[in-house]
Structure 1
Amino acid sequence: MGTAVRPVPDTATAEGDLPRRRAALALFALSLGGFGIGLTEFVIAGLLTEVAADLGVTISQAGHLVGAYALAVVPGALVITPLVMRRPPKQALTALLGFFVVGNLLSAWAPSYEVMLAGRIVAALAHGGYFGIGAVLASSLVPATRRASAVAALFAGLTIANVLGVPAGALVGQHLGWRAVFWIISILGAIALAGLIALVPRTEPEQDQLPVAQQFRALARPQVLASLLTTALVFGGMFGVFTYIEPLLREVTGYSVSAIPWLLVIFGAGLFAGNVLGGRAADRNADNAVLALAILLPVVILTLGAVAGMSTLVTVLLFLLGLVGFATVPGLQARVMRHAQGAATLASATNIAAFNLGNTIGVSLAGFAIAAGWGLRSPTITGAALTLAGLALILGARLAARRTTASIRSTSTP
């Protein structure tokens, strides 16, 4: 792996040779940071009414606080990551968590909408680099056979933020005010920062990274580009469906308002299970795991739309949506890191940006479909279309890779 990091001699004797307990503690610290970042991104969706009323803006303006975060992840990944990735990974992640804490402190204090928006953007600048550098670091702390699972452990914080953090944040916001949520997130960020400093081993980056300009060119390698676009399409499809799941559950399925939080917990449980199972599958064969899941996801999405009026089946499909959708994360992340030799850290961070960019596209397409009068089931159509495009792309990439391998073998045969 081109930009894999190696623990220095006083910490471990070889890459992936950390004692299992030490590696587990380090992964826990990284996951805690991921939990805080995931909570920052998603919790505001349950606080929009309170934020809009307090800052004197409309609901739609408050909604821009969600979109602005997602969009700011992209320049954060492509600009901030190259600036810090040649530093020791622990030092780089410490600086990025510093951005995160400052951004949330601004959000908690914000006397105006503009300051709140600035806080969201500052916090988002840490997102891509943290998960990008963190994924490479996490994979270097364990043996090669467990690297995808180590990446999954990093992303476990993100899934737990959805399962427990977002509902808890909404509850805290209702009783103590939305600002209390961001003060708490700031404290969590400080704890994660302390854990990172205390538990993550000191490491140095490998010296075989390409120059930055060549790393950006590496992003255009066919297999890297295919992985990035697949990430955007697959997650755009899934989150386009999920964003509008609440009105679907209420208006089409017939669930009560009080049932919605529990249904979202079921979806979050699917995310968590998918993250674990996807990591194990990717450890065996990342390409096969991504292909199988890319085939299953549009089937799950279309089935969800077809049975939207059947409450029991919808509950099962909601769990499967989270499971199948998020199970693709470790495989896609491992795939892009493998094909971006010499630029794995930048490619890994860019893949995180692709998640967020895809989410923006998927939500926009689903919103347009509903506004066009296609009904509340229409996000399942746009979502399935995006995931099918991702499936076609990854199939094409696999075929191209096989042709390239066959061509190399034929030319090397005497």
Structure 2
Amino acid sequence: MTTTPPTTAAASQKSPQKPQKGDGRAKFIPLLALGTFALGVDAYVMAGLLPHVSADLNISASSAGQMVTVFTLCYALGGPVFATLLAKRPAKTVLAVALLVFTIGNALTALAPSLWVLLLSRAVAGIGAGVYSPIAAATAAGLTTPERRGRALATVMGGLSIGTVIGVPAGMLLADHIGWRGTLWLITGLGLIALIGLTRLPHLDVSPPPPLAKRVRALANGRVAGIVTVSLLGGIASLGLYTYLAEFLVDAAHTDQTVWAMWAWGAGGIIGSLLIGPIVDRTRRPFAAVTCILALIVVAQFTLPAAAHAAAWAAILPLVVWGAAGWAVQVPQQHQLIAAQPDQPTVAVSLNSSAVYLGSGIGSALGGLVLGLGASPSSLPYFTGALTLLALLLHLTLVRAKTTSAPAPTP
């Protein structure tokens, strides 16, 4: 999946009153994380269900893999467009509508009789997820004090990673007994539970979904454009490879038992998501955090093929490191973006979210293309590792230069 220096005020476009310590509003952050949990399950379980879907609909695995591409592309591109149409609505209303659309999309997926209906339903679910995720993150940031904003963002991102580590392996195991359609019905029910929980959220004076024009204009800021580009490349490299993890393990480790790999990657995601918030809040150095995290991803992806070739169990460590670093990078990225756009935090968070999922969609499509051209699945981590290395170089050059020249944010 996946993202504000701790001293920068996340001022809304309507200049809401800043939350004070002890005002009790931070207790609603777990409700927002419940929704991202449902998104995390849905976004990543489909990669594990590819064999079941292709067999049921009598289509190739590469064709079935495009449902992941459609979901992530609509998340990245369709979400901002529809959020613009809801720009004047209260945040609670936008979040509820987004979860409703997301749930309807999953119900249609469970009923899909053909590939085209399947792709359409994944597009609907992706649009709902694309509207919900950035607004939930921005709302969480507005519910707490600046010095605890990293923890709030990490909680929302933790919902995604926990949904991945629990939902993906569980969904794969359940599909063996109730079929992939039964798994989708369970995800639909999960979305309904999240929607019901959202009714407890009070009406908050937070930034509305930013219009699409503002998102595009924000890219004129060189620092913003550089950070977003790094997130885009990270999405292609880290999340895109996940779609074809099963194919990689069959080729590199000679095993078709992939649930343990999903557990390892997802467990790393939980560790990274929950630890990175306090780390960034304490060090107040998001740029350095992104540097270290990207370096860890490069090392993990370049060592993964050799480890898997040696023994299947040897791939656990690079998978955990890759998952932890891949999920952790979004929190310091969000810190940097809100620092670059302190008067429009929702725009900043939305740009980062769109970049990550656009990268995920591109990564899924490119991975299928590379495999279709005859490349070995075991070689995929080398391609994605090279992209992550490029992201690290851009971070150390373009983003660093813009960060150095930018004025210090006002506490």
Per the alignment, residue 326 of structure 1 pairs with 327
Per the alignment, residue 4 of structure 2 pairs with none
Is it true that 1:280 corresponds to 2:278 in the alignment?
yes
Given residue 160 of structure 2, which amino acid in structure 1 is its aligned partner?
L
1:5–1:137 Cα contact (<8 Å) kept: no
Per the alignment, residue 233 of structure 2 pairs with 233
CA distance 1:48–1:251, shift in 2 (3 Å): closer
Given residue 225 of structure 2, which amino acid in structure 1 is its aligned partner?
L
Given residue 380 of structure 1, which amino acid in structure 2 is its aligned partner?
P
My pick for the range that moved more, 176-185 or 187-196, is 176-185
Per the alignment, residue 380 of structure 1 pairs with 381
Given residue 186 of structure 1, which amino acid in structure 2 is its aligned partner?
T
Q: Distance in 1 between matches of 2:263 and 2:210?
A: 43
Q: Distance in 2 between matches of 1:210 and 1:136?
A: 11
Q: Distance in 2 between matches of 1:374 and 1:47?
A: 23
Measure how far apart 1:86 and its partner are: 3.4
Per the alignment, residue 242 of structure 2 pairs with 242
Q: Distance in 2 between matches of 1:344 and 1:305?
A: 39
Per the alignment, residue 12 of structure 2 pairs with 4
Q: Distance in 2 between matches of 1:212 and 1:270?
A: 34
Measure how far apart 1:85 and its partner are: 3.6
Per the alignment, residue 129 of structure 1 pairs with 131
Given residue 23 of structure 1, which amino acid in structure 2 is its aligned partner?
A
Which of 15, 19, 22 is the matching residue for 1:16?
A: 19
Q: Distance in 2 between matches of 1:371 and 1:244?
A: 12
CA distance 1:206–1:356, shift in 2 (3 Å): closer
Is it true that 1:295 corresponds to 2:295 in the alignment?
yes
CA distance 1:191–1:145, shift in 2 (3 Å): same
Per the alignment, residue 398 of structure 1 pairs with 400
TM score, norm. by length of structure 2: 0.87
My pick for the range that moved more, 292-301 or 150-159, is 292-301
- Is there any run of 5+ residues in structure 2 with no aligned partner, and where? 1-8
Is it true that 1:263 corresponds to 2:261 in the alignment?
yes
Which of 139, 142, 145 is the matching residue for 2:141?
A: 139
Measure how far apart 1:330 and its partner are: 0.8
Per the alignment, residue 91 of structure 1 pairs with 93
Per the alignment, residue 205 of structure 1 pairs with 206
Cα-to-partner distance string for 1:330-356 (whole Å, 9 max, x where unaligned)? 111222233224433233223222112
Q: Secondary structure at the match of 2:199?
A: helix
Work out which of the two has the higher radius of gyration on C-alpha atoms and give 1 or 2: 1
CA distance 1:42–1:386, shift in 2 (3 Å): same
CA distance 1:177–1:362, shift in 2 (3 Å): closer
1:5–1:204 Cα contact (<8 Å) kept: no
Cα-to-partner distance string for 1:163-221 (whole Å, 9 max, x where unaligned)? 110111122222112222222212111111111111x23212359x9876344312331
Cα-to-partner distance string for 1:204-259 (whole Å, 9 max, x where unaligned)? 2359x9876344312331111111111111232223443443344343335x434x
Q: Distance in 1 between matches of 2:402 and 2:25?
A: 41
Measure how far apart 1:104 and its partner are: 1.5
Per the alignment, residue 6 of structure 2 pairs with none
Given residue 219 of structure 2, which amino acid in structure 1 is its aligned partner?
L
Is it true that 1:167 corresponds to 2:165 in the alignment?
no
Q: Distance in 2 between matches of 1:100 and 1:143?
A: 30
Q: Distance in 2 between matches of 1:228 and 1:104?
A: 29
Per the alignment, residue 351 of structure 1 pairs with 352
Q: Distance in 2 between matches of 1:257 and 1:210?
A: 44
- Is there any run of 5+ residues in structure 1 with no aligned partner, and where? 9-13, 407-414
Q: CA RMSD in A?
A: 2.8
1:7–1:203 Cα contact (<8 Å) kept: no
1:84–1:92 Cα contact (<8 Å) kept: yes
Q: Distance in 1 between matches of 2:360 and 2:218?
A: 24
Measure how far apart 1:84 and its partner are: 2.2
Compare relative contact order (CA 8 Å, sep 6+) and give the higher one, 1 or 2. 2
CA distance 1:317–1:53, shift in 2 (3 Å): closer
Given residue 12 of structure 2, which amino acid in structure 1 is its aligned partner?
A
Q: Distance in 1 between matches of 2:13 and 2:115?
A: 41
Given residue 179 of structure 1, which amino acid in structure 2 is its aligned partner?
R
Q: Secondary structure at the match of 1:158?
A: helix
Measure how far apart 1:50 and its partner are: 3.2
2:84–2:211 Cα contact (<8 Å) kept: no
My pick for the range that moved more, 346-355 or 123-132, is 346-355
My pick for the range that moved more, 144-153 or 332-341, is 332-341
1:72–1:124 Cα contact (<8 Å) kept: yes
How many aligned residue pairs are there? Answer: 397
Measure how far apart 1:79 and its partner are: 0.4
Per the alignment, residue 3 of structure 2 pairs with none
CA distance 1:308–1:174, shift in 2 (3 Å): closer
Given residue 356 of structure 1, which amino acid in structure 2 is its aligned partner?
Y
Per the alignment, residue 409 of structure 1 pairs with none
Q: How does 1:183-202 map to 2 (within 5 A)?
A: 183-198=185-200, 200-202=201-203
1:4–1:137 Cα contact (<8 Å) kept: no
Q: Distance in 1 between matches of 2:79 and 2:303?
A: 35
Given residue 128 of structure 1, which amino acid in structure 2 is its aligned partner?
G
My pick for the range that moved more, 84-93 or 358-367, is 358-367
Per the alignment, residue 63 of structure 2 pairs with 61
Q: Distance in 2 between matches of 1:182 and 1:363?
A: 21
